[in-house]
């Protein structure tokens, strides 16, 4: 479980980016973070992962291992690495004393690739993958460390609608095994079994999932974002 308690954060010499009272993210749930550009979404992720310290308040987590999937633009596709090796790097803590991976670890990775529909392309280099395959490869890399919290930053950006749908279906199926926290702008891809939606813009507030699903098609939340101001 993750508790965000009276969180206040600001960079030196700047106004607070956001504040909140108290929010909880329960284990084995699927939560989404939404909000306008510059509203503090990435800053919140950095606070949760421990890269930044709160100015006030605290974030208390019972999660022992965090997996992180960054935005696709942060991936160096020129690095000559195969998909299978990229995922195995996520298992670095299981590296044997002689510098290799055991049959058990390799079998685990093979099953992970099959689950994410990547096994048939495991020997391709990252730059040879399609956009959807590359995003699933990043998810596989993060899951290889066997996290109990998986954080994703815009995992469905810059890929086609079919690939988006496949990724979201995979993520929702994974919530039985791992808690998922995802930043997204793809509100039209929001699935009904999402447990919690956090709106980040000067404040961090929980938004009713049912209302969000109902009003997304009408553009109400997108219009709201346009009039909200903040700064990452």
pTM of the entire structure? 0.84
Q: Is it the case that residue 227 has pLDDT exceeding 50?
A: no
pLDDT at 226 over 80: no
Concatenated DSSP letters of 13-47: TS--SEE-SEEEE-TT-EEEEE--TTSSHHHHHHH
Distance CA 200, CA 186 (A): 15
Can you give the pLDDT at residue 221?
52
Query: Distance (Å, rounded) from C-alpha 232 to C-alpha 222?
Result: 19
pLDDT digits (tens, 9 = 90+) for 163-213: 888 888 888 888 888 999 999 877 766 666 788 888 888 788 887 776 665
* pLDDT per position as a tens digit, 79-88: 889 999 999 9
The rounded distance, in Å, linking the Cα atoms of 218 and 35 is 17
């Amino acid at each position: 479980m993750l508790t965000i308690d009276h969180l206040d954060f600001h960079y030196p010499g700047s106004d607070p980016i956001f504040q909140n009272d108290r929010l909880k993210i329960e284990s084995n749930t699927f939560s989404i973070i939404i909000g306008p550009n510059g509203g503090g979404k990435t800053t919140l992720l950095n606070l949760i992962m421990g890269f930044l310290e709160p100015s006030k308040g605290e974030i208390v987590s019972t999660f022992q291992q965090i997996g992180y999937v960054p935005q696709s633009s942060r991936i160096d596709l020129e690095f000559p690495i195969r998909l299978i090796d990229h995922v195995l790097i996520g298992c670095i803590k299981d590296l044997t004393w002689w510098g290799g991976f055991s049959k058990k670890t390799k079998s685990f990775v093979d099953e992970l690739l099959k689950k994410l529909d990547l096994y048939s392309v495991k020997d391709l280099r990252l730059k040879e993958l399609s956009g959807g395959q590359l995003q699933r490869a990043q998810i596989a890399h993060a899951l290889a460390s066997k996290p109990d919290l998986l954080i994703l930053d815009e995992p469905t950006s810059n890929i086609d609608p079919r690939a988006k749908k496949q990724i979201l279906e995979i993520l929702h199926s994974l919530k039985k095994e791992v808690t998922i926290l995802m930043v997204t702008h793809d509100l039209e891809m929001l699935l009904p079994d999402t447990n919690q939606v956090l709106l980040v813009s000067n404040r961090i507030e929980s938004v009713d999932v049912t209302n969000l699903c109902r009003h997304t098609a009408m553009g109400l939340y997108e219009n709201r974002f346009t009039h909200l101001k903040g700064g990452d």
